[in-house]
Amino acid sequence: VPLDGSRWLSMREVLDGLRQKGHEIVVIAPEINVHIKPSENFIMKTYPIPFTKEEVDGSIRGFHQDVFEESSFLQRFLKVYQRLRSISVMSLSSCAHLLHNKELVKYLEESKF
């Protein structure tokens, strides 16, 4: 169950290596994400989340803008803090939607994931 962003980009190489060694790879990701896309090297299972692509993209872009904004340290700190709280709420909601997805959980249980 990868996290989107740079962690996924690093993990992708590991998954490709495992696949070459004959392992079956299953990737579980929210339907709306930035970098996690289907591949011939793994089975991809998705689950719905209550956010649009625009909301997810906007949150990430806003974080980058807040971090590099030219303002006082305190102003930037407060903006980044609020942005991280918002991203954390989205992440927690995404995890809850995964765990409450009965069909996907059933698939995982049956496949001994």
| pLDDT (0 to 100) of residue 4 | 65
Q: Is the pLDDT of residue 1 over 60?
A: no
Kindly report the pTM of this predicted structure: 0.78
| Higher local confidence (pLDDT), 61 or 4 | 61
Alpha-helical segments (H) within the chain:
6-20, 53-68, 73-99, 102-110
| pLDDT (0 to 100) of residue 3 | 60
pLDDT tens sequence across 28-43: 999 988 888 888 889 9
Which value, to the nearest 10 degrees, does the dihedral of the CA atoms of residues 30, 35, 41, 46 take? 10
DSSP lists the bridge partners of residue 43 as 26
| pLDDT (0 to 100) of residue 34 | 80
Residue 48 has phi, psi (to 5 degrees) of -75, 150
For residue 3, the SS3 value is coil
Could you identify the residue written with the tokens 């992440």? 91
Contact 113, 26 (CB under 8 A): yes
Interatomic CA distance for residues 17 and 64, integer angstroms:
31
Interatomic CA distance for residues 106 and 83, integer angstroms:
34
Nearest to 28 by CA among 84, 89, 101: 101
| Higher local confidence (pLDDT), 78 or 4 | 78
pLDDT tens sequence across 67-109: 889 999 999 999 999 999 998 898 899 999 999 999 999 999 9
